[in-house]
Amino acid sequence: QDKLPPFDLAVAKNILKKELGKESFDQITNISNPVAAASIAQVHFANIETLEGKKDVAIKILRPNVEKIFNEELDALMFLAYIVESLIKKTKRLKLIEIVQLLREITNVEMDFRFEAAAANELYENTKNDLGFNVPKIYWNQTSKKTLCLDRVDGIPIREIENLKSQNIDTKKIAENIIQYFLKHAIRDGFFHADMHQGNLFVTKDGIIIPVDFGIMGRLDKKNRKYLADILYGFIKRDYKKV
């Protein structure tokens, strides 16, 4: 999730310079060593100069050659799926080829940070009045296909339960809030964070939940939102026939 071997800081700076151009790159100062490294990208802290002054930011940088590696491995998976479906007719119902194709589509979107930036921006606009849930702001001048720049998160990773308790944060309340916000975003907005594992959630000392990594988002149309609301209402009322 966030503890893979990182690539070198010099490589990261070269990617930034190439992606952003001199003017936008020169607005970045104090680029740190990697603070988190996952399968697709790694994160650095930095400062940027904006019209409102200096901002503390986190910059996510795509791993070099990761698109090529992913697509080569997906080609191998596709070939394997084709062989399995051809040789064992019963596996057709598993739709293995369709699954690999879907995986390819999802990962190719996830490896273009402009999609993630747009998703983060939409979630930010939807939730800016939700007390206790803060989405980091995107800085577009330092964002491109391979780089994503957003507000630095000053919080405790949600997996560090003892650390949260030592700050007198009510973990039961945090758990309730996460469920409430998730359902609110899904049913009210029809747009939600679809990758809320513990590597992607932070909590501030004031108990505010901050999500990161907006590479995988979910959308529900009005009909499905009503359908989901009806199911949840049925569970709450213990009306299992309705469910």
Active site residues: 195
Handedness of CA 153, 190, 179, 218 (dihedral sign): negative
CA 225/CA 186 separation, integer angstroms = 7
Residues 6+ apart with CB under 8 A from 116: 110, 148, 213, 214, 215
What's the burial of 120, exposed, middle or buried (CB within 10 Å: 0-12/13-18/19+)? buried
CA 13/CA 132 separation, integer angstroms = 35
H/E stretch holding 218: strand 217-219
Residues paired with 85 in a beta bridge: none
CA 176/CA 28 separation, integer angstroms = 38
